[in-house]
Amino acid sequence: TKWVYGFGDGKAEGTAGMRNLLGGKGANLAEMSNLGLPVPPGFTITTEVCTYYDQNGQTYPDGLQGEVDAALETIGRITGKRFGDTQNPLLVSVRSGARVSMPGMMDTVLNLGLNDATVPALAEASGDPRFAYDSYRRFIQMYSDVVMGLDHHAFEEILETFKGENGHSLDTDLSAEDWGQLITRYKALVEEELGRPFPQDPHEQLWGAISAVFASWESARAITYRRLHNIPNNWGTAVNVQAMVFGNMGSDSATGVAFTRNPSTGEKALYGEFLINAQGEDVVAGIRTPQDITEAARIAAGSDALSLERAMPEAFAQFTEICERLEAHYRDMQDLEFTIERGRLWMLQTRAGKRTAKAALKIAVDMADEGLLTQAEAVMRVDPAALDQLLHPMIDPKAARDILASGLPASPGAASGEIVFSSDDAEEAKAAGRAVILVRVETSPEDIHGMHAAEGILTTRGGMTSHAAVVARGMGKPCVSGAGMLRIDYRSGTVIAAGRKFSQGDVITIDGTTGQVLAGEVPMLQPEMSGEFGRLMEWADGARRMAVRTNAETPADARAARAFGAEGIGLCRTEHMFFDGDRILAVREMILSDSEEGRRAALARLLPMQRGDFSELFEIMQGLPVTIRLLDPPLHEFLPHGSEEIAEVAEAMGIDADLLRDRVASLNEFNPMLGHRGCRLLVSYPEIAEMQARAIFEGAVAAAKATGAPVTPEIMVPLVGMKAELDLVRARIDAMAEAVSRESGVTIEYQVGTMIELPRAALRAGQIAESAEFFSFGTNDLTQTTFGISRDDAASFLGAYQRLGLVERDPFVSLDQEGVGELVEIGAERGRVTRPNLKLGICGEHGGDPDSISFCERVGLDYVSCSPFRVPIARLAAAQAAL
């Protein structure tokens, strides 16, 4: 086996394709060398050595030592220097480099090879003793810290004391002699603390640093990071050893970092910073203010510090050319590190640059236009989840954040407003033209009007599929849920956050993208849907197989979803239509009446309202499929709670408050999520199904007349576990279709299908499909019932599960493909055996999650359905899944 791969002098033993063996950094250094770019010569010790080291009690394979020595010789030949030589010493940097960049790993040791004997030679060769001794003391400090485990603060203390004693305030005030004295003190500290001297033998230094890199692969931080990011332990890290070049050798030396395009806007312009007479770490450390690389950037920033373009025009010209070459070669925006040593440019790193969503979009589309990428490649380049950033207002990244609490990032975007604690107050404030944040322990369907009125919603209880979260996402409003550290006191109208008390009317800001709750109003950036957005979406639509529908019940949501490109409604939750205005009265009457007759009378009042709702939805969707789900939640949700509210409602309804209280109590369930809801309600009260079916059919007839487009409603029965349940409800629907056809003289095309949201339904899908023309996987309830984890109570413990790595992602956000996913696969497969043309979709929150969408593509679903604001994300994710 070959353990060491050299590079430099216009050639290399590795290539960019050898990332697994050489790590990202090593593979790209090799590639740059092969391209003939100026790369300081060096070598990469492979990731296989790391694996060997871990598996063999921290020892090295035979032959490694010889290969390292030979590679050092080669560097010496290229540079004309020798490692450990007291005339012309070779100094090296040692860096880790895994396949993917990974925090927790040993980072960098610079100036390795310096010792008491080589430092005078460096002083002589550079003609700058101050530089040489400063480099040596930096090396002692860095090496002692990262290799020997001696905290760097101890060194900084010595430095500060020394400055105090000698009346210096800046590092630059220190002379070569000063640094020499400090070196003595530093070495004494090492010996005192560690009981052994600072290593003087350069080979011992080198192997110490190499071992530190390999050992850091097994550090606690690195292990945790790997577990959380699903990085296998056996990948290992490589070690890169490279000849030092110095950006701190005077005013003709410099070091910097650059992006080939602007990483925040995507603009095609070189973007970066550098420092004259500095070493790499100084640029990121923020001690000195870096200068702009291009003249254009300097002018735009209004800076009067010299740009690289002006300060070192030749090096700048060469660098610009290299940037263009690398970008064309990698066909992606690059993030580069470079050093200029006495006017000579050296490339130290290149890699694909991190970027904002906005930049990713622009860069992908521009590169396709430039012919650098195909349209399909451009579609693959943009992270669908990142599109969220573009669809909602966000907090200005430059703004200061006074963080009060954090909860779950339940619905993206940010909003500021006055605190209100009730939905009625929210509505009132909105009517008076004030912006509010609705702050609740949790929300229920009764809060819909308040949620509509509020700019954002904050709850202290509930997870990612809690009522507040689902409804807020549907409305496209920011929501932070489950912010458990907040204490709400409805009585006094206050909330305690981080020991501070806030009252109704005080302004707060919520950031639904991060889950943070902030004090006061915070500056925002408004979303911009650029032309690139539309173009990339068009390319994505051309590539995808699955349709994308939306979960919507209000006309506003349906229109918004259409504008985002939804191809129909996959889930209309009719219970959300039962709370508006005076409807709730009729609903309550229906629930309270103890006879079928009484219920029918109340339902008759609801019928025209529902008919109007549905015909409007059908008209907006213009012949696109619309799936309407019959009433789902437990009845007690519609009833008032608390004696005040009960008294109020009883009076309005002209009934006895005690009667109402009894009825509320009798409907109360220990476990409503598993109680009298979904089709169970329709089995007990089939007249509800009949009313809704009639409203749907009559609405369809009306809409078809109005638009001239045929309407084929899809009626969906919730929470079915057995075919017999579906049959019972279906019989009522079919009978109603016939009745409405007869009455209106119009034949109605329609389909009846079911949610698959219980494990039993998935298992018995073969039988259920005999009565269902379509299945829609309700993965919210299916996750809840498969895990046996309450979707409304998960927040209190799932966080710990995630921190401990028991689950990688919240299963209510990203489908548990192994467990819940297996049930989806079983359901799809068994359903299709019975009915080959069975239409299959998903309408749980997972329908808007890119990873889950990719799973749906694999299983062969026909469509995904998600909240309106996620429609663009789903379109892109579905395209990527198909490509």
Give catalytic residue positions: 467, 843
Cβ–Cβ under 8 Å, residues 630 and 688:
yes
Compose the 159-198 pattern: x for residues touching ligand PEP by CB under 6 A, - for all others.
Answer: ----------------------------------------
- Considering only residues 817-856, where is the footprint of Mg ion by CB under 5 A? none
Q: How far is the CB of 815 from ligand PEP (least distance, A)?
A: 11
Nearer to Mg ion, 82 or 677 (CB): 677
Q: Which DSSP state fits 354?
A: P
Spatial CA neighbour of 215 closest among 92, 66, 49, 67: 49
Count of positions on this chain that bind ligand PEP (CB under 6 A): 11
- Distant-in-sequence, close-in-space partners of 603: CB < 8 Å, separation ≥ 6: 586, 590, 687, 688, 690, 691
Separation of alpha carbons 474 and 867, rounded Å: 5
Residue 298 in marked binding region: no
Cβ of residue 448: shortest distance to Mg ion, in angstroms?
A: 17
**Order of all β-strands in the sheet with 500-503:** 487-489, 494-497, 500-503
Beta carbon nearer to Mg ion, 781 or 816:
781
For residue 813, give both structure tokens: 């956000």
Q: Of the two residues 332 and 757, which places its CB atom closer to Mg ion in the complex?
A: 757
Distance of closest approach, residue 633 Cβ to Mg ion, in angstroms: 9
Q: How far apart are CA 572 and CA 45, in angstroms?
A: 58
Provide, rounded to whole angstroms, the least separation between the CB of residue 463 and ligand PEP. 12
Does position 757 bind Mg ion by CB under 5 A?
Answer: yes
583-592 helix and 657-667 helix, angle to the nearest 10 degrees: 80
According to the binding rule CB under 6 A, does residue 821 interact with ligand PEP?
A: no
Least separation in angstroms between residue 761's CB and Mg ion is 11
**Dihedral sign (CA 783, 786, 787, 790):** positive
Quote the CA–CA distance of 138 and 152 in Å, as a whole number.
10
Part in contact with Mg ion (CB under 5 A); list of ranges 110-118, 168-176, 644-652, 778-786: 778-786
Residue 573 is labelled as binding a ligand = yes
Backbone angles phi, psi at 598, to 5 degrees: -60, -40
Check residue 575 for interaction with Mg ion (CB under 5 A): no
> Is 834 annotated in some ligand binding site?
no
| Token couple for 436 | 């509010």
Lookup result for tokens 């309600």: 681
CA dist., res. 654 & res. 126, Å (int): 97
Query: Do 395 and 522 contact (CB within 8 A), yes or no?
Result: yes
Question: Given the complex with ligand PEP, which of 427 and 781 has the nearer CB atom?
Answer: 781
CB atoms near residue 24 (< 10 Å): 21
What is the DSSP code string of 599-643?
HHHHHHHHHHHHHHHHHHHHHHHTTS-EEEEPP-S-GGGGS--SH
| Residue 865 CA: distances (Å) to CA of 68, 856, 860 | 57, 11, 14
Cα distance between residue 622 and residue 568, in whole Å: 9
Q: What is the dihedral of CA 538, 540, 542, 543, to 10 degrees?
A: 170
Is position 778 an interface residue for Mg ion (rule: CB under 5 A)?
yes
Query: Quick one: which of 573, 732, 839, 870 contacts ligand PEP (CB under 6 A)?
Result: 573
Compare residues 29 and 794 and give the one whose CB is closer to ligand PEP.
Answer: 794
The piece of 434-442, 537-545, 582-590, 778-786 that touches ligand PEP (CB under 6 A) is 778-786
Shortest distance (Å) from residue 569 CB to ligand PEP: 12
Pairing of strands 291-292, 42-45: unpaired
Indicate the residue among 383 and 553 with the shorter CB distance to Mg ion. Answer: 553
Give the largest CA-CA distance in the chain: 106
725 near ligand PEP (CB under 6 A): no
Q: Give, to the nearest 10 degrees, the angle between helix 19-34 and helix 47-55.
A: 150
Select from ligand PEP, Mg ion, none the partner in contact with residue 816, using the beta carbon and a kind-dependent cut-off of 5 to 8 Å.
Answer: none
10 Å CB burial of residue 170 (0-12, 13-18, 19+) is exposed
Q: How many residues bind Mg ion (CB under 5 A)?
A: 3
Q: Does 843 bind ligand PEP (CB under 6 A)?
A: yes
Least distance in angstroms from the C-beta of 93 to Mg ion: 57
Residue 493 or 672 with smaller CB distance to ligand PEP: 672
Stretch that binds Mg ion, among 27-35, 569-577, 757-765, 811-819 (CB under 5 A): 757-765
* 191 labeled binding residue: no
The correct pick among 780, 785, 786, 867 for binding ligand PEP (CB under 6 A) is 780
757 near ligand PEP (CB under 6 A): yes
Interior/surface letters 126-163, b for 16+ CB within 10 angstroms, e for the rest: bebbbbbbbbbbbbbbbbbbbbbebeeebbeebbeebb
Cβ atoms of residues 715 and 760 within 8 Å: no
Residue 573 partner contact from Mg ion, ligand PEP, none using kind-dependent CB cut-offs of 5 to 8 Å = ligand PEP
| Stretch of 174-182, 323-331, 774-782, 854-862 contacting ligand PEP, by CB under 6 A | 774-782
Task: Pick what 843 binds: Mg ion, ligand PEP, none; C-beta below 5 to 8 Å, kind-dependent.
Answer: ligand PEP
Judged by CB under 6 A, does residue 571 bind ligand PEP? Answer: yes
Beta carbon of residue 718, minimum distance to ligand PEP (angstroms, whole number): 7
Site string for ligand PEP, 623-642 (x = CB under 6 A): ---------x----------
The reply on whether position 844 binds ligand PEP by CB under 6 A is yes
Flag whether 757 is marked binding. Answer: yes
Tally of helices (H runs) and strands (E runs) in the chain: 35, 34
Site for ligand PEP in 461-490 (CB under 6 A): 470
Q: Please state the closest distance from residue 543 (CB atom) to ligand PEP, in A.
A: 27
If contact means CB under 5 to 8 A according to the sort of partner, which of Mg ion, ligand PEP, none does residue 349 touch? none
- From the list 67, 725, 781, 849, which residue makes contact with Mg ion (rule: CB under 5 A)? 781
778 makes contact with ligand PEP (CB under 6 A)? yes
The Cα–Cα gap between 414 and 206 comes to 50
Q: Does 816 bind ligand PEP (CB under 6 A)?
A: no
Minimum CB distance to ligand PEP smaller for 290 or for 811 = 811
Q: What does the binding site for Mg ion look like in residue numbers (CB under 5 A)?
A: 757, 778, 781
Binding residues: 573, 629, 757, 778-781
Binding residues for substrate: 573, 629, 757, 778-781
Q: What does the binding site for ligand PEP look like in residue numbers (CB under 6 A)?
A: 470, 571, 573, 632, 757, 778-781, 843-844
